Structure 1
Amino acid sequence: MNIPATALLTALRSGHSTSPRLTWYGPDAERVELSGRVLDNWVAKTSNLLQDELDATPGMRLRLDLPAHWKSIIWALAAWQLGMEVVLDSNSADVLATAAPEEAEQGFDAVVAVPLPALAMKWPGDLPAGVIDYAAEVRSHGDVFMPHEDPNPEHPALRSSNGDAVRHADLLENFAAGHEAGARLLVRADEGLESALANALGAWKNDGSVVLVHGDVELTENLLAAERVHGD
């Protein structure tokens, strides 16, 4: 059964296979650009990791203990494609994706360490016993995602900061931010992951693209002009 997140990824993959859909500016002059095809590829590999390695199924909950970052957006899309609920606060969940595995609580079926540097091929240093290294594992998974079970559009996709649950069927209508068609949208990472997700979905559903900028990166005129975005 199709859900909006799946339809969105299909559109990004087929309609924007080579044009930038998500561009990230991070510390230390880091710039990552994902076309529609590459974005979908990362999401597919992450969905396959969740499904095949962590036994994730529709209706399970994934907590994202991550800042607003291009990898956080990949994880959210992967979970939604699978039919999972994304948890952005400290509520209980089945799976935890975190950039601080040494601080992870007990009670998860699986914990995944997500290193944030773009070129990280593995977690820098030792990991607690049982913690999965996302960077080391994700590349071995398939580039195409085939769900073992159909997602249920009535299941919650996310619980927003105001406490409201958003169903998968309503994700692009009730959670995505409103943006004009074809917008090249500047998104500030220091406004938080929920805001980044809402803005990215809102841009993509209207045929746009996103430039996500870390709070430590100066928004120079050169940067804005190079990316064809406008500052606030």
Structure 2
Amino acid sequence: MNSHECRQGKRCKSRRRDDDGELHGAALETADSLCRLCEEEAFAAIRALPRDFALLADTSTNPTGTRSRTPAVRRTPGRSAPINLDAYELMAKIDDELLRWALRLDTDFDDAPRDPQQRVARCVAVLSTRLGTLVDQPTHIFDALLPHPDGGDYLGRESLNGVDAVLRLATYHRTAQGILGLTETSVSYLNTETCHLCGTRSLYAHLDEDPGDDCRIACRTCHHTWSQDEFTRLNNPEAA
């Protein structure tokens, strides 16, 4: 019997209501873990960090506009120009956190680029092939600057496991989007399609992170995920 909840709790992508109307995370067998949908969303956010970093770097030096290579997102109306200090601080956090875990997971990662933007891209490349290993990491103790109750920071120690790392990095992606005044369109709901496994109309498509990637189709009810080609073959053999 599943006796634990997704670490995301009420924010879980597969959250459910009990008889009293209270929201709970998806039921899981393992404590302190993520459900499949929350894990996938967090992994996608981590893969987007090099793009976020590049846009934040551009914003730091050009707060009135973004590069012509800005990804396909829509700008939230009424947002003021991002503050340079916010962008710089977040860039430093992204760089530090990615490097911390890249060094932990890849013992040969001893030639990190000196350029911060290249270093972030390299770290994400290392972690992207090890995201399953990352989220399963046990607790590690790290040196860290921690906020002092009387103000300022002090050098202390913090304990982080793999779920902490994945959620923190995913939060950095969302924070970057907020600083940039951007709102991502991450999914498209397929209201006319029926899941061939559970029979419900609760399918949605993950929009591609990169133009060449294969689109993924997922079901909010049974939580299965397919590539677009696999989904077409299974759900509509004639079209395939």
In our comparison, the structure showing a higher alpha carbon Rg is 2
TM-score clears 0.5: no
Give the TM-score normalised by structure 2: 0.32
Instruction: Compare relative contact order (CA 8 Å, sep 6+) and give the higher one, 1 or 2.
Output: 1
